[in-house]
Every structure is written in C-alpha cells, then in structure tokens.
Homo-oligomer: A and B are copies of this chain.
Amino acid sequence: MDAGTAVAGVTLTATVMAAIRQRIATRSLTPGARLPSIRAFAVAMRVSKSTVVEAYERLAAEGAIRARAGSGFYVAAPLAPLSLAEIGPRLDRAVDPLWISRQSLEAGEEVLKPGCGWLPASWMPQAAIRRALRTLSRAGDAALADYGSPLGLAPLRALLARRMSAHGIEVPPAQIMLTESGTQAIDLVCRFLIEPGDAVLVDDPCYFNFHALLRAHRAKVVGVPYTATGPDTALFAQALAEHRPRLYITNAALHNPTGATLSPVTAHRVLKLAEEAGLTIVEDDIFADFEVAPAPRLAAFDGLRRVVHIGSFSKTLSASVRCGFIAARPDWIEGLADLRIATSFGGGRLSAELVLALLQDGSYRKHMEALRQRLARAMAETAARLKPIGILPAIEPSAGIFLWCRLPEGIDAAEIARHALAENIVLAPGNAFSLSQTAKSFLRFNVAQSADPRIYAVLQAALRKADACSTTRR
C-alpha cells in the first residue's frame, strides 16, 4: 500500500464513521439498535468491507458503539451508565429540570421555595392525617403487614371510581390500578406503551419532569405550543403528521406550569385528531381537586378508549403518604398490573389504607374546601406583590397553585434564578418547562410558597442587577 492509498483509506474510514455518527445524532440509529452489517454497509457506502470494519472498530474504541460477540455492533448509550442530564439537549445547569427537583427536594428549612411544585407541609390536613394514623394502628394484621393486591385496595378503587364519575369519567373499579405516585403511574404507562425512539408529544411549556421521564425512556420528545385554552391544535395536527407520535402526555384541568384550562372545543379537536392518528393520550389530572369550576376531561369525552387518566394525592393530602392511580382500558390495566408486579412487586397498602381513611371520614373534602379558598387568597396576594416589580401573570388561572408570570422585557429568568439561589431562594425559570427553550422570560410561582417578603426583595434586587447588566451591554 503506498502513501496515497493509506490517506484515501483514512479518509474513507472517516467518511464511514461520520455517516454512522450522523445516524446516531439524528436518532435514525437509537441506543441499543444494531448497526448495519459490515457487508451491507460496505455496499451502501461503496467502500470495502475492511474500511467498514476499521470504522466500526474505531467507533467502538471511542465508546460510540459496542461490539457484541458473534452478533455485530450496537449503538452505545449516550453514556454508560445512563445519565439523564446527558440525554437530549444539554440545558443550562440552572434550568436543568432535575436540578430544580433536587434543589426543591433537598432544600433545608432556611430555603424559600416559590419555584417548587407542592404545598408546604403545614397546609396539609395534619390533624386528619394524625387521626388516620391512630385509627390505622387498630387495623387488621393484613393491612399493616401484607402486600397489597395487584390493582390495590378495592374500597379505595371503588371510591376513586365514584369521584371520577363526578368529572364525567365512567370507569369501574376493576379498571383502576393504584400506584405509588402520579409520576410512577405515568412511568408505568410509558413503559407499557412506548419503545426507545418512539415520538411522544408534550405541551410546550409542560411540567419539567415529563422531559426527564421521557429521556429515561429514550423517547423522542416533541413539543406543541400550549395556549390559554389548550394545545395549539393546528401545530398539534402538524406534529402528528410529521412525527407520528405514540403518546401525548398532558394535564387535564389546571395545566402545569401555566394554570391554563383546556376548553371544550380544543378538547374535542384534540381527541378527533388523536383518533385519526391512532394516538394514545395520557391525561395527568393530579391537580383535579384544586379546581373550582369543572373543566372538560379528555377521558370523559373519550370513555377511556384512547385516553389513560392519572391522578394522585401528593399535592392535596400528603407527599409522604405515596398514592397515585391509573384509570385505563381493561386490557391495558391487566398488562399494567403485570408490569407493576415485575418492576416493583406489590403496591403500598399502608398508604392506600391511610388515603382511604381520610377520604371516607369527610376530612379530605373539608380540607379541600378550605384549601381552595386559601389558595385563591394567596393567588391574589402573590399577583399583587409581583406587579409593582414588573412581574405579571401571562394567564389568569381559574384556580390552583401556579402563577405563570412574564418578566420585564429583556430579562433572562435563568439569570434571576441563579441570583435568587445564591440568596437561598429556589425559583422555577421558564425554560425548565420549555422543550423549545422559548420561555426564557417566564417564571412559575407557587402561590402557597410565596408568602415570605424576602422573595420579593430578592427578586427586585435581581431584576435591577440584570437590567443594569443588560443596559451596560447595550
């Protein structure tokens, strides 16, 4: 071989390597997928087999692909082991969705958390929970020590069926399965219905943990802009045609983070498009009980044919007592129960017994009535205190805990969040919720965590500083 051939050989090898890298980057080859056979790819690329062998071996040495004895080459995980932070576009650290969750979950008592997604423990029905624990201490042996049944505590499922019926969702208890949480419910549905590389639609913006969850499933996440009445239906239709998604994950009433409410017209249109495209919808309704005026439920319109309905008590009762649920088609519930046993065995019976006790004795209903009024007051107060510093609601939510606010022109929410964190305040900057990264001038406020005046002082200082910097840069 003379020098010229050697150079040409190197170039051809690089070309083959680039072709494979591109397929991985564009996800036409997803992690775990087998690479084309050496012979077939040599033909396809019009190079010799030895060139393909060389290219594959170099990619394997780089860790981009992996050889398996006797069965060819496979696309490696983006990192082995799986790192959620590395999958998908790498976001700025301050707006990394997992970072916000972990900051909120790890925060000590000295930290204020207007950016977190749940109520303070003191807003929960403490007296009722304590009473329920004492009642439970006198329950039968099985309640305290046995596994739950595959679908979970039957009387609680019967009660949930009656509650869903009040939202127009007619579902027998046998089509409801209890889970540890709303998140675990969505995760199970994803494991059941999607494969790596499948496209999944989410709202843009949406609850940031949907991004992290879907990355864990190696799904191709596609965002659809969310309006004040639901997803933009024209762009929704376009996304269906372009990406043929398997799932659409959304909130029912009281959208997170915007506080918007799905209108009946949009609900009907979304369902019609879903039917035409064979799309399944996961309707996450964990904020249902905050609602004051009833909004339409996709599951109610659809009769659980292509809609899976999810709920939980983490936001309204206790996040320490883990209890969520799934309502779905009977054949899916059977498969989901098998999958749940395989991946976490029995459900938490003790938690289910506690939730049942609280729902049955009327304390939950009374707690929610008071809580809705308290939240309405907190919502008005938070808006009134944000207004003078130039932070205004983008949508007037009908109820709930979230206020989705726009910052003054030219201000980057991530910068404000970094400033606030240095002052022990966890904020939720808009881009954490936005796949397209088009929410940089938004912040989500949890009105139940926004009472401390220090929050507004720090926000004002951060805004002044950011404004001064942006003026200097001009």
Known: A36-B40, A212-B342, A216-B339. A319 touches B146 (CB 8 A): yes
Which of B130, B149, B150, B347 is A138 in contact with, Cβ under 8 Å? B130
Q: At the interface, yes or no: A105 with Cβ under 8 Å from chain B?
A: yes
Interface size of A by CB at 8 A reads 102
C-alpha gap A195/B118 in the complex (Å): 33
- The 9 tightest CB contacts between A and B, nearest first, are A124-B145, A212-B342, A133-B137, A320-B349, A121-B141, A40-B40, A121-B145, A184-B344, A32-B195
Q: Which of chain A's residues 182-217 have a Cβ closer than 8 Å to chain B? A: 182-184, 187, 191-193, 195-199, 209, 212-213, 215-216
Known: A40-B36, A44-B43, A350-B320. A124 touches B144 (CB 8 A): yes
C-alpha gap A321/B349 in the complex (Å): 7
For residue A402, give the distance in angstroms from its CB to the closest CB of chain B.
17
Q: At the interface, yes or no: A71 with Cβ under 8 Å from chain B?
A: yes
What 1/0 mask marks residues of chain A from 313 to 328 whose CB sits below 8 Å from any chain B CB?
0100111111000000
Contacts of A193 in B (CB 8 A): 80-82
**Copies of this chain, tallied across the complex:** 2
Asked if A335 and B82 sit within 8 Å, CB to CB, the answer is: yes
Q: At the interface, yes or no: A433 with Cβ under 8 Å from chain B?
A: no
Which of B28, B321, B353 is A71 in contact with, Cβ under 8 Å? B28
Contacts of A344 in B (CB 8 A): 180-181, 183-184, 187
Contacts of A142 in B (CB 8 A): 121, 320
Asked if A34 and B30 sit within 8 Å, CB to CB, the answer is: yes
Contacts of A195 in B (CB 8 A): 31-32, 74, 77
Q: Can you list 18 A-B pairs, Cβ within 8 angstroms, ordered by A?
A: A83-B335, A84-B335, A102-B337, A102-B341, A105-B147, A106-B149, A137-B137, A145-B321, A148-B320, A183-B344, A196-B196, A209-B342, A213-B342, A319-B346, A321-B350, A322-B347, A348-B348, A351-B351
Q: At the interface, yes or no: A122 with Cβ under 8 Å from chain B?
A: yes
Q: At the interface, yes or no: A68 with Cβ under 8 Å from chain B?
A: yes
Q: At the interface, yes or no: A129 with Cβ under 8 Å from chain B?
A: yes
Q: At the interface, yes or no: A98 with Cβ under 8 Å from chain B?
A: yes
C-alpha gap A71/B27 in the complex (Å): 9
